[in-house]
Amino acid sequence: MKSFQTERWAVDKTENTLENHPHIIQASLWINKNEVIAIPTETVYGLAGNARSDDAIKRIFEAKGRPSDNPLIVHISDLSQLEGLVSSVSETAQKLMNAFWPGPLTIVLPKGENVSERVTAGLSTVAVRMPDHEIALAVIAASGVPLAAPSANLSGKPSPTSAQHVYEDLKGRIPGIVDGGSTGVGVESTVVECTGELVTILRPGGITLEELEKVAGAGRVVVDPGLENEKQAPKSPGMKYTHYAPDAPFVLVDGSVEFLQRLVDKEREAGKRIGILTTEERAHVYKADCVIPAGDRSNPESVAQHLYEALRAFNEAGVDQIFGEVFPKTGVGVAIMNRLEKSAGGNIIKE
Ligand code: TXA
Ligand code: MG
């Protein structure tokens, strides 16, 4: 792998001629040389490369240390880029695009003839989305090609929601990061398979099941059984890996504040440094070596937005063990709990 002096290219996303912005042009020049760079999206930062170049795709996998059997999402800025990328779009898939693009919905479709096997990891389908972020759209448009982009973290780490997070993980490994500030949604896009008229949720995310049902119709949206049932392999290869993990062991606690505090006290008496992942409402209630709130419990969207930044903060605090609160699995809470369960490797203590 080549080594780089990783640059940070600040761009203000409210500028109106983004496509001509020197930093956007610089980013697109690297893309057109089939190198990979990081860009902001509305969900998390992505590590972007020319989706039509095997060299670029190889570099994405190398820079992240990603297993090669985990396919990438292709990002487009215009529906005309679906040509050659997918072989068909069902009526329901079209409805989803109309309703949610640009936005945090990735649609898995039958793959077209113009897609590298490396992008799809040999599958007959390809995952596509149009991000709702002016900078991402401008980089795609300026490059003139669809961009394959996984989250711009080292494989296994929490996804990056700021340019600083990307820098921590990938400095020296990529030529540059387009810095557009903090991302909005905070968790990755919802991934659905929609090759026919049925919508199967492969990864919960910013767009909820209820929102999908409103567009696809009642009874037309199902959840991949592999997401819930440990005995069945998930349909999305990425969902089988350990993910989003802080450095210290992380355990979820399904119980009262008092119960969680007792667990913490016991460990601290044994001389361990303990971290607690909570929310603003309860941050002052706990006693530990490091208490980190991720948003407000009363506003689940804010929890999603700050979740990964909170998980990363424990690494800096240098704790031996982290205990985290659980959240109701409704709306975006489904995505929050999916990520938390993965970062805890399935470890939950019930009161
Ligand atoms: O919000 C997001 O989706 C971010 C931003 C950068 O766009 N990207 C992202 O990419 O989260 P990544 O690579 O971290 O996750 C992609 C997920 C993985 O779980 C992968 O297995 C799944 O999408 N995936 C990709 N292609 C697929 C396919 N053809 N069939 C099923 N799952 C697929
Ligand atoms: Mg990822």
Note the pLDDT of residue 102. 98
Total number of domains constituting the chain: 2
3 has pLDDT over 80: yes
Q: What residues are in contact with ligand 1 under a 6 Å CB criterion?
A: 41, 43-44, 46, 70-73, 104, 106, 108, 120, 123, 125-127, 131, 149-151, 188-189, 191, 202-203, 235-239
Mutate to test the pocket of ligand 1, among 224, 236, 242 (most ligand atoms within 8 A of CB): 236
User: Could you tell me if 22 and 150 lie in one domain?
Assistant: yes
Note the pLDDT of residue 83. 96
CA–CA separation, 243 and 127 (whole Å): 20
Mutate to test the pocket of ligand 1, among 60, 73, 177 (most ligand atoms within 8 A of CB): 73
User: Is the CB of residue 160 less than 8 Å from the CB of residue 244?
Assistant: no
Q: Omega of the bond prior to 102 within 30 degrees of 0, cis?
A: yes
241 has pLDDT over 80: no
Note the pLDDT of residue 237. 87
Atom of ligand 1 nearest to the CA of 153: 14
User: Could you tell me if 213 and 272 lie in one domain?
Assistant: no
User: Is the CB of residue 258 less than 8 Å from the CB of residue 304?
Assistant: no
User: Could you tell me if 300 and 197 lie in one domain?
Assistant: no
- Of 176, 198, 228, which closes a domain? 228
User: Could you tell me if 15 and 148 lie in one domain?
Assistant: yes
Q: What is the pLDDT of residues 259-308, one digit of tens each?
A: 999 999 999 999 999 999 999 999 999 999 999 999 999 999 999 999 99
**Is 290 domain-assigned?**
yes
Model pTM above 0.95: yes
Least distant ligand from the CA of 46: 1
Tell me how far the alpha carbon of residue 201 lies from the centroid of ligand 1, in angstroms: 12
User: Could you tell me if 194 and 81 lie in one domain?
Assistant: yes
CA–CA separation, 47 and 38 (whole Å): 4
Question: Domain with 262 in it: what CATH number?
Answer: 3.40.50.11030
Q: Enumerate residues 6+ apart whose C-beta is below 8 A from 233.
A: 226, 240
User: Could you tell me if 167 and 46 lie in one domain?
Assistant: yes
User: Could you tell me if 53 and 131 lie in one domain?
Assistant: yes
User: Could you tell me if 56 and 157 lie in one domain?
Assistant: yes
Q: What is the pLDDT of residues 4-21, one digit of tens each?
A: 999 999 999 888 889 889
- Protein residue with least CA distance to atom 22, ligand 1: 236
Atom of ligand 1 nearest to the CA of 127: 26
On whether 163 is known to bind a ligand per the annotation, the reply is no
User: Could you tell me if 174 and 257 lie in one domain?
Assistant: no
**Is 318 domain-assigned?**
yes
Atom of ligand 1 nearest to the CA of 189: 1
The maximal CA–CA distance of the chain, rounded, in angstroms, is: 62
Note the pLDDT of residue 301. 97
Tell me how far the alpha carbon of residue 208 lies from the centroid of ligand 2, in angstroms: 19
Q: What is the pLDDT of residues 28-81, one digit of tens each?
A: 999 999 999 999 999 999 999 999 999 999 999 999 999 989 999 999 999 999
- Protein residue with least CA distance to atom 31, ligand 1: 236
Atom of ligand 1 nearest to the CA of 235: 31
Note the pLDDT of residue 16. 81
Least distant ligand from the CA of 236: 1
pLDDT category of residue 146 using cuts at 50, 70 and 90 = very high
On whether 241 is known to bind a ligand per the annotation, the reply is no
Tell me how far the alpha carbon of residue 250 lies from the centroid of ligand 1, in angstroms: 24
Atom of ligand 1 nearest to the CA of 203: 19
Question: Exposed/middle/buried for 140, CB within 10 Å: 0-12, 13-18, 19+?
Answer: buried
**Is 245 domain-assigned?**
no
Q: What is the pLDDT of residues 85-143, one digit of tens each?
A: 999 999 999 999 999 999 999 999 999 998 889 999 999 999 999 999 999 999 999 99
Residues 154-181 have a mean pLDDT of 97
Least distant ligand from the CA of 156: 2
Give the Å distances, CA to CA, from 309 to 248, 252, 273, 320. 15, 17, 20, 18
Note the pLDDT of residue 38. 98
Mutate to test the pocket of ligand 1, among 106, 178, 190, 307 (most ligand atoms within 8 A of CB): 106
User: Could you tell me if 71 and 147 lie in one domain?
Assistant: yes
User: Could you tell me if 136 and 208 lie in one domain?
Assistant: yes
User: Could you tell me if 85 and 141 lie in one domain?
Assistant: yes
Atom of ligand 1 nearest to the CA of 70: 21
Note the pLDDT of residue 240. 79
Residues 229-238 have a mean pLDDT of 85
Note the pLDDT of residue 314. 96
On whether 53 is known to bind a ligand per the annotation, the reply is no
Domain interval for residue 274: 250-350
- Three-state helix/strand/coil letters over the chain: CCCCCCEEEECCCCCCCHHHCHHHHHHHHHHHCCCCEEECCCCCCEEEEECCCHHHHHHHHHHHCCCCCCCCEEECCCHHHHECCECCCCHHHHHHHHHHCCCCEEEEEEECCCCCHHHHCCCCEEEEECCCCHHHHHHHHHHCCCEECCECCCCCCCCCCCHHHHHHHHCCCCCEEEECCCCCCCCCCEEEECCCCCEEEEECCCCCHHHHHHHHCCCCEEECHHHHCCCCCCCCHHHHCCCCCCCCCEEEEECCHHHHHHHHHHHHHCCCCEEEEECCCCCCCCCCCEEEECCCCCCHHHHHHHHHHHHHHHHHHCCCEEEEECCCCCCCHHHHHHHHHHHCCCCEEEC
**Is 136 domain-assigned?**
yes
